[in-house]
Amino acid sequence: MDNSFQEIKEIYNGLIEYDYDISNLMTWKIGGKVRCIVFPEDESQILKLIKYVEKNNISYYIIGKDSNILFGNSYYNGLIIYLGKKFNSFKVLEKQDGYLITCSSGISLAELGKIAKDKVLTGLEFLSFIPGSLGGAIITNAEAHKQSIGDSILNVKVIENGMIKVYPKAICEFNYRSSIFENIQDLVILSVDLFLEKGSLDEILNKMVIAKEYRLKKQPKKPSAGSVFKNPDHVAAGKLVEDLGLKGLFKGDARISKIHGNFIINENHATSEDVLYLINIIKDKVNEIYDIYLKLEIKLFNI
């Protein structure tokens, strides 16, 4: 009998669950059971876990806040390292021309936005309504209203091939919904240095109101993972879906939102298969009619 998952408990010494229903954590509320999930609090726990799983050939996956993943409904016989719950410490240091903020990657963008607002720092106002963690935001260079997380980054500290490495911004390759980290296998973003400048409180609050109102008006409230596809050049993916008359199309409890064509919502008990079915319909139709190949913004896992 394989004891390696029970041994994780001893080497890691933190919150751990077995046969855990991951759908509880997903913003989409979709996903099956996972053999083991841990919620580390500090870097040393994460390093120990990575060394252990690599030595014992255990399959694992890093999750921030689960707001950009379609997680398959079948059983996942591996380890989930979930950073968006307890791995969220931060330090704020005043500099001559602004503030250096160093955060663990599991901190939520909402919390980060609050820290910035409280210190009257500008640069994160629009981002603070994105329901993800800082680590997840770095992976795809999260963006809203032309403000992207990469704009405020100084350095990103990661575990890569079992070693700690620091990426200065200049080599992070932050672009539209992408970064160098997207394509590196077995990478863990540990912490991030951000630099923010002093702003005006009125302007900061105003931008936050705009961001909040925009979301209330333009995005569905039902469970989703935000935009499913990256926008192709010069056109919004949601507009293509709308023009093709696909809004409202459903499979099981998954439905292409009537409010926003790039969102697929879970109306009750949608499965990963239901969502994939709709994704493929959109891809095929857009390709057939517009000769455009849509790329996924969301990540697929255990599918």
Ligand X SMILES: Cc1cc2nc3c(=O)[nH]c(=O)nc-3n(C[C@H](O)[C@H](O)[C@H](O)COP(=O)(O)OP(=O)(O)OC[C@H]3O[C@@H](n4cnc5c(N)ncnc54)[C@H](O)[C@@H]3O)c2cc1C
CA 220 to CA 229: how far, in whole Å?
A: 16
CA 258 to CA 272: how far, in whole Å?
A: 20
Residues 6+ apart with CB under 8 A from 221: none
Among 41, 43, 143, 274, binds ligand X (CB under 6 A): 143
- Catalytic one of 104, 177, 179, 257: 177
Please tell me whether residue 70 binds ligand X under the rule CB under 6 A. Answer: no
Residue 213 CB, shortest distance to ligand X, in Å, is 14
CA 150 to CA 244: how far, in whole Å?
A: 33
CA 278 to CA 188: how far, in whole Å?
A: 31
Please tell me whether residue 130 binds ligand X under the rule CB under 6 A. Answer: yes
- Stretch in the footprint of ligand X (CB under 6 A) among 11-19, 90-98, 224-232, 265-273: 224-232
Residue 184 CB, shortest distance to ligand X, in Å, is 9
Q: Which long-range contacts (CB under 8 A, 24 or more apart) does 238-245 make?
A: 238/262, 238/263, 240/286, 240/290, 240/292, 240/294, 241/282, 241/286, 244/285, 244/286, 244/289
Can you name the residues that pair with 251 across neighbouring β-strands?
Answer: 254
Binding mask 193-222 for ligand X (x = CB under 6 A): --------------------------x---
DSSP assignment of 198-242: E--HHHHHHHHHHHHHHHHHHS-SSS--S-SBPPPTTS-HHHHHH
Query: Could you tell me the maximum CA-CA distance found in the chain, to the nearest angstrom?
Result: 62
Residue 96 CB, shortest distance to ligand X, in Å, is 30
Residue 33 near residue 2 (C-beta atoms within 8 A): no
Q: Is 24 helix (H, G, I), strand (E, B) or coil?
A: helix
Nearer to ligand X, 51 or 95 (CB): 51
Nearer to ligand X, 52 or 60 (CB): 60
Please tell me whether residue 152 binds ligand X under the rule CB under 6 A. Answer: no
Please tell me whether residue 41 binds ligand X under the rule CB under 6 A. Answer: no
Nearer to ligand X, 65 or 255 (CB): 65
What Å distances lie between residue 35 and 23, 72, 95, 303, CA to CA? 13, 14, 45, 16
Please tell me whether residue 189 binds ligand X under the rule CB under 6 A. Answer: yes
CA 295 to CA 273: how far, in whole Å?
A: 18
Please tell me whether residue 31 binds ligand X under the rule CB under 6 A. Answer: no
- Stretch in the footprint of ligand X (CB under 6 A) among 35-43, 111-119, 128-136, 264-272: 128-136
Please tell me whether residue 46 binds ligand X under the rule CB under 6 A. Answer: no
Please tell me whether residue 261 binds ligand X under the rule CB under 6 A. Answer: no
Residues 6+ apart with CB under 8 A from 178: 140, 141
Nearer to ligand X, 43 or 143 (CB): 143
Please tell me whether residue 139 binds ligand X under the rule CB under 6 A. Answer: yes
| Residue 227 annotated to the active site | yes
Nearer to ligand X, 83 or 121 (CB): 83
List, by residue number, the catalytic residues: 177, 227, 297
Q: Which residues bind ligand X (CB under 6 A)?
A: 27, 61-69, 83-84, 105, 130-133, 135-137, 139-140, 142-144, 187-189, 219, 224-226, 299
